[in-house]
Amino acid sequence: EVQLVETGGGLIQPGGSLRLSCAASGFTVSSNYMSWVRQAPGKGLEWVSVIYSGGSTYYADSVKGRFTISRDNSKNTLYLQMNSLRAEDTAVYYCARLEGFIRYYYFDYWGQGTLVTVSS
Amino acid sequence: QSVLTQPPSVSEAPRQRVTISCSGSSSNIGNNAVNWYQQLPGKAPKLLIYYDDLLPSGVSDRFSGSKSGTSASLAISGLQSEDEADYYCAAWDDRLNGVVFGGGTKLTVL
Percent of chain B surpassing pLDDT 90? 95
CA–CA min distance B15, chain A (Å): 27
- Look at residue B2 and tell me whether its pLDDT is greater than 90: no
Those residues of chain A that have pLDDT short of 70 are none
pLDDT digit string (tens) for B27-52? 999 999 999 999 999 999 999 999 99
Percent of chain A surpassing pLDDT 70? 100
B93-102 as b/e, with b when 16 or more CB fall inside 10 Å?
bbebebbbbb
CA angle B69, B25, B76 (to 5 degrees): 60
Query: For residue B46, what are the contacts with CB-CB under 8 A and spacing of at least 6?
Result: A110, B37, B38, B39, B40
Query: For residue A14, what are the contacts with CB-CB under 8 A and spacing of at least 6?
Result: A85, A86, A87, A118, A119, A120
CA–CA min distance A112, chain B (Å): 6
pLDDT digit string (tens) for A51-81? 999 999 999 999 999 999 999 999 999 999 9
Q: Residues of B numbered 15-74 whose beta carbons fall under 8 angstroms of chain A's beta carbons: which are they?
A: 31-33, 35, 37, 39, 44-47, 50-51, 56
Query: For residue A42, what are the contacts with CB-CB under 8 A and spacing of at least 6?
Result: none
> Which pLDDT belongs to residue B1?
82
> For residue B40, what is the DSSP state?
-
* Any A CB within 8 A of B5 CB: no
Nearest to B99 among A47, A103, A110 (CB): A47
> For residue A44, what is the DSSP state?
-
